[in-house]
Amino acid sequence: MESQHVAEVFTQLYGSEPEGVWAAPGRVNLIGEHTDYNDGFVMPFALPHVTVAAVSRREDGVLRLHSQDVPGGPVELRVEDLAPGSDRTWTAYPAGVVWALREAGHALAGADVHLASTVPSGAGLSSSAALEVVVALALNDLFELGLPGWQLARLCQRAENVYVGAPTGIMDQTASACCESGHALFLDTRDLSQRQIPFDLADRGMRLLVVDTQVKHAHSDGEYGKRRAGCERGAALLGVDALRDVPYAELDAALERLGDDEEARRLVRHVVTEDERVERVVSLLESGDPRAIGPVLTEGHASLRDDFRISCPELDLIVETALAAGALGARMTGGGFGGSAIVLAEEADVPALTKAIEAAFAAADLTPPRVFEAVPSPGARRLR
Ligand code: GLA
């Protein structure tokens, strides 16, 4: 996205040039789904798609927010009036960040903000996190708050959990704030310790495709929260702080203890095996064997479909079709119930695979999916 253009629109809207322009990316998650609110492991990487913000400070307690993607002029709010649950529109995300920063004791008098995004919304690619993180980073720089990326991510998560009211984990915001080009981020969501894992598929003759089903989902609508509550219940039944504390080697014993509580058994089995899959993918990548991660991704899909039960027919169709057409591995990515799938493939197989997926959607009379290649891209940054 052209930062020059975003700055020009800001100048037209607000009558003076912005003090700066920032960008924060969307993400895909390679492996580690619904593990973040269980204190577990995740492994996202940043997309080239970004939300860009042109921002200037104000000293008069006013916050003006404008988005290129929403019709109408800037929305004007008073920072003192910002209150959790008071806003059900898109402005809750950036306003929630201002609220969270002020709650944490940072003196922010106000700001003018203009936003533009290339991150598809509702596609499970973290457009909300990109929006939160870009605003947090801009304010961090302009008001010289000196907060590191992981701390901005925590504040953005608080904005989303408390201000917007969506009970999400910490993965998406950390990915947007901390990812690096050419790498996937191995993140321990318990203490936010992280390791950048080189993930350059093009070098090895492979590609990772994102297939957006164009089926919309919403985290604030019950199912995500139900899974989260179910996992917390499972941890309580097993007497641990979080499911992360159930070692993979002790999974069978833990399942035994849950007896015929089928619901708890399924959720626990997914989370414990998924953490193990993340560790397996890390060691395969670190030992230079990226092709071998394919089956691990596919195993992850089966677990999300059968145990966690958050897939949908469109996502299953992508995975089945991709595997039948020779993909190395495939799985849904993100929160589930729609959104996107990822497909790992040999470069030479990409055209045939894409065709096969498109044909399968057409045959099932579904809206054509959007297919693009995902290249691990940089995290949030200042553009000018
Ligand atoms: C959404 C949430 C994340 C994470 C994923 C599932 O993207 O925002 O915190 O829980 O779902 O892995």
CA distance 110 to 135: 12
Question: Rounded to 5 degrees, what are φ and ψ at 289?
Answer: -125, 60
- The band of 230, judged by pLDDT with boundaries at 50, 70 and 90, is very high
Residues forming beta bridges with residue 70, ordered by sequence position: none
Q: Quote the ligand 1 centre to 334 CA distance (angstroms).
A: 6
Count the Cβ atoms, other than its own, within 10 Å of residue 249: 9
Q: Quote the ligand 1 centre to 8 CA distance (angstroms).
A: 34
CATH superfamily of 199-373: GHMP kinase, C-terminal domain (3.30.70.890)
Q: Is the CB of 160 under 6 A from ligand 1?
A: no
Instruction: Confirm if 110 and 58 have CB atoms less than 8 A apart.
Output: yes
Q: Give me the mean pLDDT over the 17-41 stretch.
A: 98
What is the pLDDT at residue 222? 87
- The band of 218, judged by pLDDT with boundaries at 50, 70 and 90, is low
Q: Quote the ligand 1 centre to 76 CA distance (angstroms).
A: 30
3-state secondary structure of 256: helix
Tokens of 205: 């003759």
3-state secondary structure of 50: strand
Q: Is the CB of 44 under 6 A from ligand 1?
A: no
Q: How many helices (H) and strands (E) does the chain have?
A: 11, 13
Tokens of 139: 């304010």
Q: State the amino acid at position 113 in one-letter form.
A: V
Lowest-confidence pick of 259-263, 264-268, 336-340: 336-340
Residue nearest to atom 9 of ligand 1 (CA): 169
What is the pLDDT at residue 302? 98
172 belongs to the catalytic site: yes
Q: Give me the mean pLDDT over the 125-148 stretch.
A: 98
What is the pLDDT at residue 332? 98
Q: Is the CB of 169 under 6 A from ligand 1?
A: yes
What is the pLDDT at residue 216? 74
What is the pLDDT at residue 2? 86
Catalytic entry in 36, 39, 112, 172: 172
Q: What is the DSSP string of 346-364?
A: EGGGHHHHHHHHHHHHHHT
H/E/C letters for each residue in 127-174?
Answer: HHHHHHHHHHHHHHHHCCCCCCHHHHHHHHHHHHHHHHCCCCCCHHHH
What is the tens place of the pLDDT at every residue in 310-350?
999 999 999 999 999 999 999 999 999 999 999 999 999 99
Residues forming beta bridges with residue 52, ordered by sequence position: 23, 116
CA distance 72 to 66: 8
Residue nearest to atom 8 of ligand 1 (CA): 168
Residue in 28, 30, 34, 121 to alter for ligand 1 test, most ligand atoms within 8 A of Cβ: 34
3-state secondary structure of 205: coil
What is the tens place of the pLDDT at every residue in 142-199?
999 999 999 999 999 999 999 999 999 999 999 999 999 999 999 999 999 999 999 9
Q: Quote the ligand 1 centre to 337 CA distance (angstroms).
A: 12
Tell me: pLDDT of 240 over 80. yes
The architecture that CATH gives domain 3-197 is 2-Layer Sandwich (3.30)
Residue in 168, 267, 277, 333 to alter for ligand 1 test, most ligand atoms within 8 A of Cβ: 168
Percentage of residues in the chain having pLDDT higher than 70: 99
- The band of 18, judged by pLDDT with boundaries at 50, 70 and 90, is very high
CA distance 86 to 186: 35
Instruction: Confirm if 307 and 267 have CB atoms less than 8 A apart.
Output: yes
Q: Is the CB of 168 under 6 A from ligand 1?
A: yes
Q: State the amino acid at position 15 in one-letter form.
A: G
CA distances from 185 to 44, 48, 376, 379 (A): 6, 15, 10, 10
Q: Is the CB of 172 under 6 A from ligand 1?
A: yes
- Residue 33 Cα: closest atom of ligand 1: 12
CA distance 210 to 126: 13
Q: Quote the ligand 1 centre to 117 CA distance (angstroms).
A: 20
Q: Give me the mean pLDDT over the 116-134 stretch.
A: 96
Q: Give me the mean pLDDT over the 56-66 stretch.
A: 98
| Torsion on CA atoms 65, 145, 141, 181, rounded to nearest 10 | -110
CA distance 206 to 202: 5
Q: Give me the mean pLDDT over the 62-75 stretch.
A: 97
Q: Is the CB of 34 under 6 A from ligand 1?
A: yes
- Name every residue whose Cβ is closer than 8 Å to that of residue 101 and which is 6 or more positions away in sequence: 108, 136, 139, 145, 155
pTM of the shown model: 0.97
Give me the residue spans of the domains in the chain: 3-197, 199-373
* 312 CA to centre of own chain: 19
- Residue 42 Cα: closest atom of ligand 1: 12
Q: Quote the ligand 1 centre to 170 CA distance (angstroms).
A: 8
Question: What b/e string do you get for 201-235 counting C-beta neighbours within 10 Å, with b at 16 or more?
Answer: beeeebbbbbbbbbbebebeeeebeebbebbeebb
- The band of 220, judged by pLDDT with boundaries at 50, 70 and 90, is very low
CA distance 300 to 27: 18
H-helix segments, the chain: 3-14, 92-103, 127-142, 149-158, 171-178, 223-238, 251-257, 262-286, 294-306, 313-324, 350-363
Average confidence score pLDDT of the chain: 97
- Residue 160 Cα: closest atom of ligand 1: 8
What is the tens place of the pLDDT at every residue in 274-319?
999 999 999 999 999 999 999 999 999 999 999 999 999 999 999 9
Residue nearest to atom 11 of ligand 1 (CA): 335
Residue nearest to atom 3 of ligand 1 (CA): 169
Residue in 30, 31, 35, 36 to alter for ligand 1 test, most ligand atoms within 8 A of Cβ: 36
Q: Is the CB of 174 under 6 A from ligand 1?
A: no
